[in-house]
Structure 1
Amino acid sequence: MLAKLDYIRRLLATGFCFVLFGVGGLILGFLVFPIVHLFAGSRERGVRACRFAVRLCFRAFAYTLSALGPIGHEIHRRELLERKGQLIVANHPSLIDVVLLMAYTPNASCIVRAGLFQNIFTRGPVRWSGFVCNDTGERLIDDCVAQIKSGANLIIFPEGTRTVRGKPLKFHRGAAHVWLKARCPLTLVTIKCEPPTLARGEPWYQIPPKRAHFWLNPCDNTRLEYDSARAVTQYWQDYFSSENQDEPTRAAD
């Protein structure tokens, strides 16, 4: 009986948090961020202010998830995420990954799929915060490098989408091309979630039988010595597979 009540409580809390996220996106995108840019004095200052607000909001959202019960989290070596002008590469087991990463990363930017630039709940925050759209074609790598050179901490998930549970990781080479061109500080962040939740193909209401907990473990990988995108991508793919105890991976494309 207690287990059933806990399940219902977490289900209701999860639904509430999704509503909160959507409403927050509308308020920030259509009210707060336009005002911020109006008084910022320059686009660069406006973008940085919006990213600071996103960080605070995501931190508050993460703590709300923890307080209400659906999801707990812990992060190790947070100082690695606080460096300036770095590339942050992470695996992507859950919908909540980017929220947790941005909650602890100052001046964070990321590559966002084009659909989020059209979604009414997300288009305001991603545009005003200067995030990178993934449909810019040949400019994508240069746009990413420019953000890093400007001091932003760029978050990339090399899988391009959430991990399909039970299948080997399959990384794309774009993130490696960015790092090889930028030659910036590099942080790998292993994200683990137990029990799994909000994975690819899972609706929000399909919650696990008990509270999910996330572990984020950053590692400095700046001294990586490979010089080809294929080799870098394969190294990352093998690293994350090993960290998550996945099966051997296929060759990176």
Structure 2
Amino acid sequence: MLWRVLMQMWLGVVLVLSMAYWAVGGLLFVIGGAVLVPLLPVENSRALGQWLLSVAFRIFLGFLRMCGVYECEYVGFEALNDVKGGLIIAPNHPALWDAVFILSKVHGLRCILKASLMHNPFLRGGSKLAGFIPNKPAHKMLQQSIEALRQGDRLLFFPEGTRTRKQEDCINTLQGGLGIIATQSCAPVWPVFIETNSDYLCKGWPLWHLPDKKIRMRITLGEPIASPPDESAAEFTKRLREVYVAALGGGEKR
């Protein structure tokens, strides 16, 4: 009992330090974005912003790992090392911090981000500098995403559109946007399967509610899925969901 109390106190300290890290980091990204975006060519500012975010996320996750908050095993991501051209990284979405793990591991990603988060003080500067794309209005998001892929950019897209709901078996019904983007751009979709033993930061989990045990995660990169010319967006979306169900549906939490 005493150990549990001490652990919760320690996690509380870690949470405060984490918030301080992102408060300072968010301010620096806002300042950096305001200075660098007007001065640098778009491609250079995006590349710099993506690199800085990746470094910031790696430092943050390294701190949490050192503090004993989580363990994470990445599987199969070396397959991306020699891949060129536009592609879509598409993870399932069990928890709020999933993007942090992906962006820290895969370099050069432009994230399709919830429009409201583009105005979050912790995320606004970094997301603007890195060239993230707001998910609303939908038609503009689709257009920007397709154009980015045709230019050879890499996108991070959560096809569920929100965190996985507890009442779902293993993954929400996929939103139609990814199917439209994949079929119109002909870019391959690389599914990512995130498995965890914890409900920490899942749908409905308050930010101030600390985890009740050490979080263990496994993040696996699947095989790329391409859309043939005669496949509709709905057919592609259905086929993609079957891939997630096959990978996630039968397994127990780690």
- TM-score, length of structure 2 as denominator length: 0.88
Distance 1:5 1:110, change over 3 A: same
- The Cα RMSD (Å) is 2.1
Counterpart-to-counterpart distance in 1, 2:19 and 2:167? 26
Q: Which position in structure 2 is the counterpart of 1:143?
A: 144
Distance 1:135 1:224, change over 3 A: closer
Asked if the contact 1:81/1:187 (under 8 Å) is kept, the reply is: no
The one-letter amino acid paired with 1:78 is: F
Deviation at 1:118, TM superposition (A): 2.0
Unaligned regions of 5+ residues in structure 2, if any? none
Counterpart-to-counterpart distance in 1, 2:246 and 2:23? 35
Asked if the contact 1:11/1:70 (under 8 Å) is kept, the reply is: no
Q: Does 1:238 align with 2:242?
A: yes
Q: Does 1:196 align with 2:199?
A: yes
Stretch of structure 1 that moved more, 166-175 or 189-198: 166-175
Q: Which position in structure 2 is the counterpart of 1:109?
A: 110
Q: Which position in structure 2 is the counterpart of 1:13?
A: 14
Q: Which position in structure 2 is the counterpart of 1:206?
A: 209
The one-letter amino acid paired with 2:15 is: T
Tell me the alpha carbon deviations over residues 110-145 of structure 1, each in whole angstroms, 9 at most, x when there is no partner. 111111122222221112211111113322212101
Q: Which position in structure 1 is the counterpart of 2:119?
A: 118
Q: Which position in structure 2 is the counterpart of 1:33?
A: 33
Stretch of structure 1 that moved more, 94-103 or 200-209: 200-209
Unaligned regions of 5+ residues in structure 1, if any? 248-253
- TM-score, length of structure 1 as denominator length: 0.88
The one-letter amino acid paired with 2:239 is: Y
Runs of 4+ in 1 over 4 A off after TM superposition: 223-226
Distance 1:246 1:20, change over 3 A: farther
Counterpart-to-counterpart distance in 2, 1:176 and 1:36? 34
Asked if the contact 1:72/1:214 (under 8 Å) is kept, the reply is: yes
Instruction: Select which of 150, 158, 174 maps to 1:171.
Output: 174
Distance 1:204 1:246, change over 3 A: farther
Q: Which position in structure 2 is the counterpart of 1:73?
A: 72
Q: Which position in structure 1 is the counterpart of 2:218?
A: 215
Distance 1:149 1:224, change over 3 A: closer
Identity %: 22
Asked if the contact 2:192/2:219 (under 8 Å) is kept, the reply is: yes
Asked if the contact 2:197/2:216 (under 8 Å) is kept, the reply is: yes
The one-letter amino acid paired with 2:110 is: S
Distance 1:135 1:246, change over 3 A: farther
Counterpart-to-counterpart distance in 2, 1:19 and 1:161? 26
Deviation at 1:39, TM superposition (A): 4.8
Deviation at 1:246, TM superposition (A): 6.4
Q: How many residues align?
A: 245
Counterpart-to-counterpart distance in 2, 1:194 and 1:15? 24
What SS does the aligned partner of 1:138 have?
helix
